[in-house]
Structure 1
């Protein structure tokens, strides 16, 4: 079955990097919880949300954080076709 671009991006984020979501403040969290319903989302925003969903904030002081953010941003641009896309394009295939 063919994936939409967001499914492909999430496959990259979750399967390749293992960022499938975490528990933040006792609540299950996933990058999709940060994506607003309307407007645009930039690759840099998305990569930051991936980190936050894993409870890896800017003050986490983890050496890999910046590199992983850059890798996710590059994948976002390559897969989604732009550095900024409408939020409505960042939906699971089942939600489209």
Structure 2
């Protein structure tokens, strides 16, 4: 069976687009984190990106596009607080323990 190879950005865009009527392409998604595209029109996509894209794809997306945690958090913190999922912070920084 032939399985085409796609980039992590393409896989992330597919994952995000499944739930939304308006599709974001991989170039726009990468451009948002590079600062060449405005995130405002894509906030619902970005919320799904941070919450629903599998961990492996998130990590590959960062590695393939040479994004640091700070690059990712710059966009993450633009989301409304109720859309900021702690799980993304765990993906970027590892397991986060509750302060006692």
What TM-score do you get using the length of structure 1 for normalisation?
0.33
More strand by share: 1
- Greater relative contact order, per chain length (Cα 8 Å cut-off, separation 6+): 1
More helix by share: 2
